Structure 1
Amino acid sequence: MKESSNLLLKQLSMLVMQLNDHSYSKELPLLMDNSIGKHVRHILDLYDCLLEAVASSVLNYDQRKRNPLLETSSQIALIKIKEIQAGIDCLKLDKELILHQSIGSSNVQMKTQTQRELLYTIDHTVHHLAIIRIAIQHHFPEISIPENFGFAFSTLRYREKQA
Protein backbone atom coordinates (compact mmCIF):
# COMPACT_ATOMS: atom_id res chain seq x y z
CA MET A 1 0.00 0.00 0.00
CA LYS A 2 2.87 2.38 0.72
CA GLU A 3 4.21 1.63 -2.75
CA SER A 4 0.88 2.49 -4.36
CA SER A 5 0.69 5.75 -2.47
CA ASN A 6 4.22 6.71 -3.42
CA LEU A 7 3.55 5.78 -7.05
CA LEU A 8 0.61 8.18 -7.16
CA LEU A 9 2.66 10.91 -5.51
CA LYS A 10 5.48 10.30 -7.99
CA GLN A 11 3.02 10.70 -10.88
CA LEU A 12 1.73 13.89 -9.28
CA SER A 13 5.27 15.17 -8.84
CA MET A 14 6.11 14.45 -12.50
CA LEU A 15 3.06 16.43 -13.56
CA VAL A 16 3.74 19.38 -11.24
CA MET A 17 7.33 19.59 -12.54
CA GLN A 18 5.93 20.36 -16.01
CA LEU A 19 3.84 23.32 -14.85
CA ASN A 20 5.07 26.83 -14.26
CA ASP A 21 3.55 28.68 -11.32
CA HIS A 22 1.16 30.61 -13.57
CA SER A 23 -0.33 27.45 -15.09
CA TYR A 24 -0.23 25.64 -11.75
CA SER A 25 -2.20 28.36 -9.93
CA LYS A 26 -4.45 29.52 -12.79
CA GLU A 27 -8.15 29.43 -11.92
CA LEU A 28 -9.80 27.24 -14.54
CA PRO A 29 -13.48 27.50 -15.52
CA LEU A 30 -13.60 23.72 -16.03
CA LEU A 31 -12.71 23.33 -12.34
CA MET A 32 -15.30 25.87 -11.20
CA ASP A 33 -12.52 28.47 -11.00
CA ASN A 34 -10.28 26.25 -8.90
CA SER A 35 -6.71 25.57 -9.98
CA ILE A 36 -4.60 22.49 -10.38
CA GLY A 37 -2.59 23.83 -7.45
CA LYS A 38 -5.68 23.83 -5.23
CA HIS A 39 -6.32 20.19 -6.07
CA VAL A 40 -2.67 19.34 -5.38
CA ARG A 41 -2.83 21.19 -2.06
CA HIS A 42 -5.99 19.31 -1.12
CA ILE A 43 -4.34 15.94 -1.86
CA LEU A 44 -1.29 16.87 0.20
CA ASP A 45 -3.43 18.19 3.07
CA LEU A 46 -5.02 14.80 3.62
CA TYR A 47 -1.68 13.02 3.62
CA ASP A 48 -0.38 15.61 6.07
CA CYS A 49 -3.33 15.02 8.39
CA LEU A 50 -2.70 11.30 8.38
CA LEU A 51 1.02 11.62 9.04
CA GLU A 52 0.49 14.14 11.83
CA ALA A 53 -2.15 11.93 13.45
CA VAL A 54 0.48 9.29 14.20
CA ALA A 55 1.87 11.40 17.06
CA SER A 56 -1.45 12.24 18.71
CA SER A 57 -3.50 9.17 17.66
CA VAL A 58 -6.28 11.59 16.64
CA LEU A 59 -7.13 12.13 12.97
CA ASN A 60 -9.30 15.01 11.84
CA TYR A 61 -9.37 15.77 8.12
CA ASP A 62 -11.63 18.78 8.78
CA GLN A 63 -8.74 20.53 10.55
CA ARG A 64 -6.28 20.32 7.70
CA LYS A 65 -3.85 23.24 7.31
CA ARG A 66 -4.76 24.44 3.80
CA ASN A 67 -1.37 26.08 3.17
CA PRO A 68 -2.00 28.59 0.32
CA LEU A 69 1.65 28.38 -0.79
CA LEU A 70 1.00 24.78 -1.87
CA GLU A 71 -1.63 26.16 -4.25
CA THR A 72 0.56 28.79 -5.88
CA SER A 73 4.12 27.47 -5.86
CA SER A 74 4.87 24.31 -7.78
CA GLN A 75 8.33 24.17 -6.16
CA ILE A 76 6.92 24.25 -2.64
CA ALA A 77 4.42 21.56 -3.64
CA LEU A 78 7.26 19.38 -4.95
CA ILE A 79 9.15 19.75 -1.67
CA LYS A 80 6.00 18.83 0.26
CA ILE A 81 5.43 15.76 -1.93
CA LYS A 82 8.94 14.51 -1.06
CA GLU A 83 8.32 15.12 2.65
CA ILE A 84 5.08 13.16 2.49
CA GLN A 85 6.71 10.29 0.61
CA ALA A 86 9.37 10.06 3.32
CA GLY A 87 6.65 10.10 5.97
CA ILE A 88 4.72 7.33 4.24
CA ASP A 89 7.87 5.20 4.08
CA CYS A 90 8.11 5.41 7.90
CA LEU A 91 4.38 4.98 8.56
CA LYS A 92 3.37 2.12 10.87
CA LEU A 93 0.29 0.65 9.22
CA ASP A 94 -1.15 -0.93 12.37
CA LYS A 95 -1.29 2.25 14.48
CA GLU A 96 -4.70 2.75 16.11
CA LEU A 97 -6.30 6.17 15.60
CA ILE A 98 -9.47 7.94 16.56
CA LEU A 99 -11.09 9.62 13.54
CA HIS A 100 -13.03 12.83 14.18
CA GLN A 101 -15.27 13.78 11.28
CA SER A 102 -18.10 16.26 10.75
CA ILE A 103 -20.95 14.78 8.73
CA GLY A 104 -23.76 17.26 8.19
CA SER A 105 -24.70 18.57 11.61
CA SER A 106 -23.15 15.57 13.39
CA ASN A 107 -19.67 15.05 14.74
CA VAL A 108 -18.56 11.44 14.49
CA GLN A 109 -15.73 9.73 16.35
CA MET A 110 -14.64 6.22 15.49
CA LYS A 111 -11.70 3.89 15.77
CA THR A 112 -9.57 3.39 12.70
CA GLN A 113 -5.99 2.45 11.76
CA THR A 114 -3.31 4.12 9.72
CA GLN A 115 -3.60 1.32 7.13
CA ARG A 116 -7.31 2.00 6.59
CA GLU A 117 -6.72 5.74 6.39
CA LEU A 118 -3.83 5.32 3.95
CA LEU A 119 -6.23 3.36 1.74
CA TYR A 120 -8.75 6.20 2.00
CA THR A 121 -6.05 8.71 1.12
CA ILE A 122 -5.00 6.67 -1.91
CA ASP A 123 -8.60 6.54 -3.17
CA HIS A 124 -8.97 10.25 -2.50
CA THR A 125 -5.75 10.96 -4.42
CA VAL A 126 -6.90 8.93 -7.44
CA HIS A 127 -10.16 10.88 -7.47
CA HIS A 128 -8.35 14.23 -7.54
CA LEU A 129 -5.79 13.01 -10.08
CA ALA A 130 -8.71 12.18 -12.39
CA ILE A 131 -10.00 15.74 -12.01
CA ILE A 132 -6.51 17.14 -12.62
CA ARG A 133 -6.17 14.93 -15.71
CA ILE A 134 -9.36 16.37 -17.20
CA ALA A 135 -8.15 19.92 -16.55
CA ILE A 136 -4.71 19.24 -18.03
CA GLN A 137 -6.14 17.64 -21.17
CA HIS A 138 -8.55 20.53 -21.66
CA HIS A 139 -6.42 23.55 -20.70
CA PHE A 140 -2.82 22.35 -21.13
CA PRO A 141 -2.76 19.67 -23.86
CA GLU A 142 1.00 20.16 -24.30
CA ILE A 143 1.61 18.66 -20.85
CA SER A 144 2.55 14.99 -20.81
CA ILE A 145 0.41 12.78 -18.57
CA PRO A 146 1.20 9.14 -17.75
CA GLU A 147 -1.29 6.78 -19.39
CA ASN A 148 -2.58 5.50 -16.03
CA PHE A 149 -2.76 8.93 -14.34
CA GLY A 150 -6.07 9.34 -12.51
CA PHE A 151 -7.30 5.77 -12.90
CA ALA A 152 -8.08 3.55 -9.93
CA PHE A 153 -5.86 0.50 -9.52
CA SER A 154 -8.95 -1.74 -9.80
CA THR A 155 -9.88 -0.09 -13.11
CA LEU A 156 -6.39 -0.70 -14.46
CA ARG A 157 -6.55 -4.39 -13.43
CA TYR A 158 -9.97 -4.74 -15.04
CA ARG A 159 -8.72 -3.21 -18.29
CA GLU A 160 -5.72 -5.57 -18.29
CA LYS A 161 -8.05 -8.58 -17.98
CA GLN A 162 -10.22 -7.27 -20.82
CA ALA A 163 -7.27 -6.79 -23.18
Structure 2
Amino acid sequence: MKELIISSINHNLNNAIALLDAIDSETYCNTSVGPYYSSIGSHIRHTLDFFDCIINGLDTNDIDLTKRKRDEILSTNIAAAKDHIYELQQTLVSYTDVNTDYLIHVTDNMGQGKVTVNYTLESILAHANSHAIHHYATIGYILDQLSIELKVPGFGYNPTTPVNKREGI
Protein backbone atom coordinates (compact mmCIF):
# COMPACT_ATOMS: atom_id res chain seq x y z
CA MET A 1 0.00 0.00 0.00
CA LYS A 2 2.82 2.42 0.83
CA GLU A 3 4.26 2.09 -2.69
CA LEU A 4 0.90 3.00 -4.20
CA ILE A 5 0.54 6.04 -1.95
CA ILE A 6 4.06 7.27 -2.72
CA SER A 7 3.55 6.64 -6.43
CA SER A 8 0.28 8.60 -6.32
CA ILE A 9 1.94 11.51 -4.52
CA ASN A 10 4.80 11.56 -7.00
CA HIS A 11 2.30 11.53 -9.87
CA ASN A 12 0.61 14.60 -8.37
CA LEU A 13 3.96 16.27 -7.82
CA ASN A 14 4.80 15.57 -11.47
CA ASN A 15 1.59 17.42 -12.35
CA ALA A 16 2.92 20.39 -10.38
CA ILE A 17 6.16 20.20 -12.38
CA ALA A 18 4.12 20.18 -15.61
CA LEU A 19 2.27 23.28 -14.41
CA LEU A 20 5.50 25.04 -13.44
CA ASP A 21 6.99 24.22 -16.84
CA ALA A 22 3.98 25.82 -18.53
CA ILE A 23 3.80 29.15 -16.71
CA ASP A 24 6.12 32.13 -16.33
CA SER A 25 7.32 33.84 -13.17
CA GLU A 26 4.81 36.67 -13.48
CA THR A 27 1.93 34.19 -13.47
CA TYR A 28 3.53 32.17 -10.65
CA CYS A 29 3.76 35.24 -8.41
CA ASN A 30 0.52 36.99 -9.41
CA THR A 31 -1.59 37.95 -6.38
CA SER A 32 -4.37 39.84 -8.18
CA VAL A 33 -7.12 37.20 -7.87
CA GLY A 34 -9.62 37.63 -5.03
CA PRO A 35 -10.98 36.88 -2.63
CA TYR A 36 -7.71 35.69 -1.02
CA TYR A 37 -5.12 37.34 -3.29
CA SER A 38 -2.76 34.39 -2.99
CA SER A 39 -0.37 33.37 -5.74
CA ILE A 40 0.12 30.04 -7.43
CA GLY A 41 3.57 30.09 -5.87
CA SER A 42 2.15 30.48 -2.37
CA HIS A 43 -0.08 27.44 -2.90
CA ILE A 44 2.82 25.37 -4.24
CA ARG A 45 4.97 26.46 -1.30
CA HIS A 46 2.19 25.62 1.16
CA THR A 47 1.77 22.10 -0.19
CA LEU A 48 5.53 21.54 -0.07
CA ASP A 49 5.59 22.84 3.52
CA PHE A 50 3.08 20.17 4.48
CA PHE A 51 5.28 17.41 3.07
CA ASP A 52 8.37 18.97 4.68
CA CYS A 53 6.68 18.86 8.10
CA ILE A 54 6.19 15.13 7.64
CA ILE A 55 9.78 14.56 6.58
CA ASN A 56 11.23 16.78 9.31
CA GLY A 57 9.21 15.17 12.10
CA LEU A 58 9.36 11.55 11.09
CA ASP A 59 12.66 10.69 12.79
CA THR A 60 11.51 12.07 16.14
CA ASN A 61 7.94 10.78 15.78
CA ASP A 62 6.70 14.33 16.20
CA ILE A 63 5.19 15.77 13.03
CA ASP A 64 3.94 19.29 13.73
CA LEU A 65 1.96 20.71 10.83
CA THR A 66 1.94 24.13 12.53
CA LYS A 67 5.73 24.44 12.19
CA ARG A 68 5.83 25.16 8.48
CA LYS A 69 8.93 26.99 7.22
CA ARG A 70 7.06 29.18 4.74
CA ASP A 71 10.19 29.61 2.61
CA GLU A 72 9.29 32.55 0.36
CA ILE A 73 11.85 31.44 -2.24
CA LEU A 74 9.51 28.54 -3.03
CA SER A 75 6.66 31.05 -3.45
CA THR A 76 8.53 33.27 -5.87
CA ASN A 77 11.09 31.14 -7.71
CA ILE A 78 9.85 28.43 -10.08
CA ALA A 79 13.26 26.77 -10.39
CA ALA A 80 13.62 26.54 -6.60
CA ALA A 81 10.13 25.06 -6.30
CA LYS A 82 10.89 22.46 -8.97
CA ASP A 83 14.19 21.53 -7.30
CA HIS A 84 12.38 21.15 -3.99
CA ILE A 85 9.77 18.91 -5.60
CA TYR A 86 12.47 16.68 -7.11
CA GLU A 87 14.19 16.36 -3.70
CA LEU A 88 10.86 15.60 -2.05
CA GLN A 89 10.11 12.89 -4.60
CA GLN A 90 13.46 11.20 -3.93
CA THR A 91 12.87 11.31 -0.19
CA LEU A 92 9.40 9.82 -0.56
CA VAL A 93 10.73 6.96 -2.68
CA SER A 94 13.27 6.24 0.08
CA TYR A 95 10.34 5.59 2.47
CA THR A 96 9.19 2.59 0.45
CA ASP A 97 11.29 0.21 2.55
CA VAL A 98 10.90 2.02 5.89
CA ASN A 99 9.23 0.14 8.72
CA THR A 100 5.88 1.80 9.32
CA ASP A 101 4.56 -0.59 11.93
CA TYR A 102 4.05 2.16 14.52
CA LEU A 103 1.89 5.18 15.18
CA ILE A 104 3.18 8.65 14.40
CA HIS A 105 2.24 11.67 16.50
CA VAL A 106 0.88 14.45 14.32
CA THR A 107 0.08 17.90 15.72
CA ASP A 108 -2.11 20.47 14.01
CA ASN A 109 -4.24 23.43 14.98
CA MET A 110 -7.88 22.66 14.36
CA GLY A 111 -8.95 26.28 14.91
CA GLN A 112 -9.32 26.04 18.66
CA GLY A 113 -5.78 25.17 19.58
CA LYS A 114 -3.24 22.48 18.85
CA VAL A 115 -4.18 18.84 19.06
CA THR A 116 -1.99 15.76 18.60
CA VAL A 117 -3.43 12.62 17.04
CA ASN A 118 -1.96 9.31 15.92
CA TYR A 119 -1.45 8.50 12.26
CA THR A 120 0.40 5.85 10.34
CA LEU A 121 2.96 6.97 7.77
CA GLU A 122 0.54 5.89 5.07
CA SER A 123 -2.34 7.92 6.51
CA ILE A 124 -0.37 11.17 6.92
CA LEU A 125 1.03 10.79 3.39
CA ALA A 126 -2.48 10.18 2.03
CA HIS A 127 -3.65 13.26 3.93
CA ALA A 128 -0.82 15.33 2.43
CA ASN A 129 -1.71 14.13 -1.06
CA SER A 130 -5.37 15.13 -0.63
CA HIS A 131 -4.24 18.45 0.78
CA ALA A 132 -2.10 19.06 -2.33
CA ILE A 133 -5.02 18.24 -4.64
CA HIS A 134 -7.17 20.73 -2.76
CA HIS A 135 -4.59 23.47 -3.35
CA TYR A 136 -4.19 22.45 -6.98
CA ALA A 137 -7.92 23.12 -7.39
CA THR A 138 -7.38 26.62 -6.03
CA ILE A 139 -4.51 27.08 -8.48
CA GLY A 140 -6.90 26.06 -11.25
CA TYR A 141 -9.30 28.76 -10.10
CA ILE A 142 -6.52 31.36 -10.10
CA LEU A 143 -5.49 30.39 -13.64
CA ASP A 144 -9.10 30.58 -14.79
CA GLN A 145 -9.48 34.06 -13.32
CA LEU A 146 -6.26 35.11 -15.07
CA SER A 147 -7.72 33.75 -18.35
CA ILE A 148 -4.80 31.32 -18.69
CA GLU A 149 -5.77 28.01 -20.23
CA LEU A 150 -3.46 25.08 -19.61
CA LYS A 151 -4.08 21.37 -19.88
CA VAL A 152 -2.60 19.20 -17.16
CA PRO A 153 -5.03 16.26 -17.14
CA GLY A 154 -6.67 15.69 -13.76
CA PHE A 155 -4.86 18.61 -12.09
CA GLY A 156 -6.89 19.78 -9.10
CA TYR A 157 -9.42 16.96 -9.25
CA ASN A 158 -9.85 14.25 -6.67
CA PRO A 159 -9.28 10.83 -8.33
CA THR A 160 -12.89 9.90 -7.44
CA THR A 161 -14.25 12.72 -9.63
CA PRO A 162 -15.94 11.11 -12.64
CA VAL A 163 -13.65 11.26 -15.68
CA ASN A 164 -16.27 13.05 -17.79
CA LYS A 165 -16.26 15.89 -15.20
CA ARG A 166 -12.46 16.30 -15.23
CA GLU A 167 -11.04 18.78 -17.64
CA GLY A 168 -7.75 19.63 -16.04
CA ILE A 169 -6.52 23.16 -16.13
CA distance in 1, matches of 2:12, 2:92: 12
Change over 3 Å in CA distance of 1:10–1:103 after alignment to 2: same
Per the normalisation by structure 2, the TM-score is: 0.85
What code does the residue aligned with 1:137 have? D
Residue aligned with 1:101, SS: strand
Q: Which residues in structure 2 correspond to 1:58-97 (within 5 Å)?
A: 58-91=62-95, 92=98, 94=100, 96-97=103-104
Return 106-115 or 66-75, whichever deviates more. Answer: 106-115
Distance apart, 1:110 and its partner CA: 1.9
Among 145, 148, 151, the residue aligned to 1:145: 151
Give unpaired runs (5+ residues) of structure 1: none
Change over 3 Å in CA distance of 1:155–1:81 after alignment to 2: same
Give unpaired runs (5+ residues) of structure 2: none
CA distance in 2, matches of 1:157, 1:60: 35
Contact 1:53 1:97 in 2 (8 A): no
Q: Which runs of 4+ in 1 moved over 6 A?
A: 157-160
CA distance in 1, matches of 2:99, 2:73: 30
Distance apart, 1:104 and its partner CA: 2.9
Residue identity over aligned pairs, in percent, reads: 23
CA distance in 1, matches of 2:133, 2:162: 12
Distance apart, 1:93 and its partner CA: 6.9
What code does the residue aligned with 2:38 have? N
State the match for 2:114 in structure 1: 107
User: Going by fraction, where is helix more abundant, 1 or 2?
Assistant: 1
CA distance in 2, matches of 1:110, 1:32: 30
State the match for 2:139 in structure 1: 132
Distance apart, 1:77 and its partner CA: 0.3
- Equivalent pairs counted in the alignment come to 159
Change over 3 Å in CA distance of 1:93–1:68 after alignment to 2: farther
State the match for 1:121 in structure 2: 128
CA distance in 2, matches of 1:73, 1:3: 26
Per the normalisation by structure 1, the TM-score is: 0.88
